[in-house]
Amino acid sequence: MEILVCVKRVPTVGGTIAVTPDGQQVDTRMSGWTISPHEECAVEEAVRITERLGGTVSVLTLGPEAAVAQLRDALALGAGRAVLLETDGREFGPIATAAAIAAEVRSRGYDLVLLGNEAADTGDYQVGVRLAHQLGWPVATGIKNLTVSAGGAVACREYRGAEETYRLPLPAVITVKEGINLPRYPSLPGRLRARRAQVERSPAPWRPEGLRKQALRVPAAAGRRAVILGHGTEAVPELVRVLGELGVLP
Amino acid sequence: MTALCLVELDGAEPADASLRAVTLARSLGTGVGAVLFGGAVPADTLAGYGVTDAYLVEPSAVAGYAPRAWARVLAGLIAQAGATAVLAAGTDRGHEVLAHLGAITGLPMAANCTEVTPHGPGAHRVVRHRWAGLLLEEAILEAPVALLTVAADAVQAAAAETPAPVAVHVRTAELADEDLRVLAVESPAGAGGASLATARVVVGGGRGVGGPDGFAPLEELAGLLGGVVGVSRVVTSEGWRPHRQQVGQTGTKITPEVYLACGISGAIQHVAGCAGARHIIAINTDPGAPIVARADYAVLGDLHQVVPALIEALRARRPGPA
């Protein structure tokens, strides 16, 4: 089973998120970088599939040279090969991103391409679907349970508290969500191997798209200032009164 | 001119998230055409929200949910209805169908919009979520037909001031085999219970709960309030609770009347999931916890004491068992 996993380098956000003074980017002076969470699970899922069925996990990212750090993180988790589609620092839209990935898929040949359901930062929700259309492959999105065999894939996701199931022939594109697995911690040998591994590089062509960012901003605070109802169990009568006021008591 | 809006059904009625999308569609100032797959047209409700036309795609044309087939139908309706925009709720299905529509038509798509206004011919100014709503992006969407999903936790559904009758059009679909290659097989298990995304009350538990055994009182409290339990990311990463209960950027985004956050510090990835709550009440030992700054009300104290006392008080209000 030859699997390609597409990951994205995104800032680590913990307690706050801020925008640079020109309003064009997230201020990353105080943050680190990580693989977007859904995609970390995609790497883990791919490694588990090849542990069972054999084959190779290739990991791909589209980004600047610095994104090699995230490729090495994926190699440490068990991916065997890494590809950087190198950008010139400009933000790629989903159409150009899908086109660049499609070119890599065509040049090598894969049975399965896994992506995150949406990137943590841009949240465009469409790269996987556009990629599938370019390749002429079936696609399922938002998957939280995946069973792959030589004959095809059975993919499940949540729908209004129920589970819906999709059956796909291979090759296919599948986008996954966090919760499909709990990613392993990288082993020490894995990390050492990742540090030495070769990364294949090719340039990614940027093109303008119809959705053009003007500015980013932090939403105005909702204007909430917590009313302290009290301390400990003494606050309970007041809490019950408030719940009643808000109309949620039976 | 019209804006088409994919309307998902919740039983016989439009899903709340879809009514939010219809509400945003009205701000385009065109007529609003609802597109429904199967079922009957809930014409009265749609009229109340300002829908002027309803396109009902016959169930025999597309059996069940097939995202690419739904997109193919929408692509056909764009020309028939003279649509300048197609909207859908920012749900799994909404995002997926519009992404397929974007791929079929070659049009760009803006996900999770909170505002949209016409911006000259062939363009719209949109405000949309990035980072699951922790940031807003102001953007220009230049396209002959604007494809938009609507951030369901940031736009309120509002009835129209002057409802008019809905003209119903029944459509059959012209589909290729490849449009039906990926179909949902729905399982009945779990359907019917209150879901995290639509619950009126969510009782949240975070690291402060202490471990997998600490959730029984939260479940009981949620039961008494007719709600469900949601948890923070650390709780699912630790394996204390299943991931489907996670509230957050990588879990479920909730829109309850009341979110009762117990022992949750309020990391930004969690806030992305609960910012759509109408009211937040925090129970936390730390008055400096970020969740307290985001809450409407706070009880400063240990959830292990406050929650059992609250349960007792709520039980005492109810007629006791015989």
For B68-84, write each residue's pLDDT tens digit. Answer: 999 999 999 999 999 99
B267: nearest CB among A14, A132, A250: A14
Which residues of chain B are within 8 Å of residue A13 when distances are taken between CB atoms? 131, 134, 268-269
> Is the CB of residue B270 less than 8 Å from the CB of residue B251?
no
- For B178-203, the pLDDT digits (tens) are 888 888 886 554 444 568 988 999 99
Q: Identify the structural domains of chain A with CATH numbers, from first to last.
A: 2-203 (3.40.50.620)
Q: What is the secondary structure of A133-149 as a DSSP string?
A: HHHT--EEEEESEEEEE
Q: What value, to the nearest 5°, has the Cα angle with vertex B319 and ends B313 and B322?
A: 120
Of A29, A49, A38, nearest in space to A8 by CA: A38
Of B30, B127, B38, nearest in space to B82 by CA: B30
Same domain, B80 and B157: yes
- For B206-249, the pLDDT digits (tens) are 999 999 999 999 999 999 999 999 999 999 999 999 999 999 99
Tokens representing B11 are 């039983």
B168 inside domain: yes
In which domain, by residue range, is B298 found? Answer: 201-317
B265 inside domain: yes
- For B267-293, the pLDDT digits (tens) are 989 999 999 999 999 999 999 999 998
Q: Report pLDDT for B232.
A: 96
The structure tokens 């197609």 sit at B86
Residue to substitute from B9, B243, B264, B285, interface A, most A β-carbons within 10 A: B243
- For A90-140, the pLDDT digits (tens) are 999 999 999 999 999 999 999 999 999 999 999 999 999 999 999 999 999
Same domain, B219 and B300: yes
**Cα(A71)–Cα(B52) distance, integer angstroms:** 51
Same domain, B284 and B235: yes
Same domain, B258 and B293: yes
B188 inside domain: no
Compare all CA atoms of chain B with the CA of A175 and give the residue at the minimum distance: B96
Size of interface A-B (CB pairs under 8 A): 268
Tokens representing A46 are 């791919």
The CATH number of whichever domain residue B47 belongs to comes to 3.40.50.620
* Alpha helices in chain B, H assignment, sequence order: 16-26, 43-48, 67-81, 92-105, 216-224, 233-237, 268-274, 290-294, 303-317
CB contact under 8 A, B295 and A224: yes
- Residue B115 binned pLDDT confidence (cut-offs 50, 70, 90): very high
Q: What value, to the nearest 5°, has the Cα angle with vertex B65 and ends B60 and B69?
A: 75
Q: Report pLDDT for B190.
A: 46
Of B47, B48, B44, B35, nearest in space to B9 by CA: B35
B195 inside domain: no
B189 inside domain: no
Domain-terminating residue out of B148, B180, B212: B180
**Cα(B155)–Cα(B3) distance, integer angstroms:** 17
- Residue B176 binned pLDDT confidence (cut-offs 50, 70, 90): confident
Q: Does the beta carbon of A14 lie under 8 angstroms from any beta carbon of chain B?
A: yes
**Cα(B75)–Cα(B102) distance, integer angstroms:** 9
A224: nearest CB among B93, B268, B294: B294
Beta bridge partners of B213: none
Q: Report pLDDT for B306.
A: 97
Q: Does the beta carbon of A168 lie under 8 angstroms from any beta carbon of chain B?
A: yes
Query: What pTM did the predictor assign?
Result: 0.93
Among A38-42, A57-61, A172-176, B36-40, which is the least confidently predicted range? B36-40
CA atoms within 13 A on the CB side of B285: 9
Q: Does the beta carbon of B310 lie under 8 angstroms from any beta carbon of chain A?
A: yes
What share of chain B has pLDDT > 90, as a percent? 81
The CATH number of whichever domain residue B248 belongs to comes to 3.40.50.1220
Q: Does the beta carbon of A228 lie under 8 angstroms from any beta carbon of chain B?
A: yes
Same domain, B169 and B208: no
Q: What is the mean pLDDT of residues B95-122?
A: 97
- For A165-215, the pLDDT digits (tens) are 999 999 999 999 999 999 999 999 999 999 999 999 999 999 999 999 999
Rounded to two decimals, the ipTM of the complex is 0.95
> Is the CB of residue B105 less than 8 Å from the CB of residue B144?
no
> Is the CB of residue B191 less than 8 Å from the CB of residue A161?
yes
Which residues of chain A are within 8 Å of residue B250 when distances are taken between CB atoms? 37-38, 120, 177-179
Q: What value, to the nearest 5°, has the Cα angle with vertex B225 and ends B222 and B231?
A: 30
Same domain, B35 and B73: yes
Of B204, B230, B227, nearest in space to B295 by CA: B204
Q: What is the mean pLDDT of residues A7-13?
A: 94
- For A126-137, the pLDDT digits (tens) are 999 999 999 999
A-contacting residues of B 144-203, CB under 8 Å? Answer: 149, 178, 181-198, 200-201
- Residue B152 binned pLDDT confidence (cut-offs 50, 70, 90): confident
CB contact under 8 A, B275 and A246: no
Q: List Cβ neighbours of B312 (8 Å cut-off, separation of 6 or more).
A: none
**How many domains does the structure of chain B reveal?**
2
Tokens representing A204 are 């990614």
Question: What b/e string do you get for B22-35 counting C-beta neighbours within 10 Å, with b at 16 or more?
Answer: bbbbbebebbbbbb
A-contacting residues of B 9-28, CB under 8 Å? Answer: 10
B253 inside domain: yes
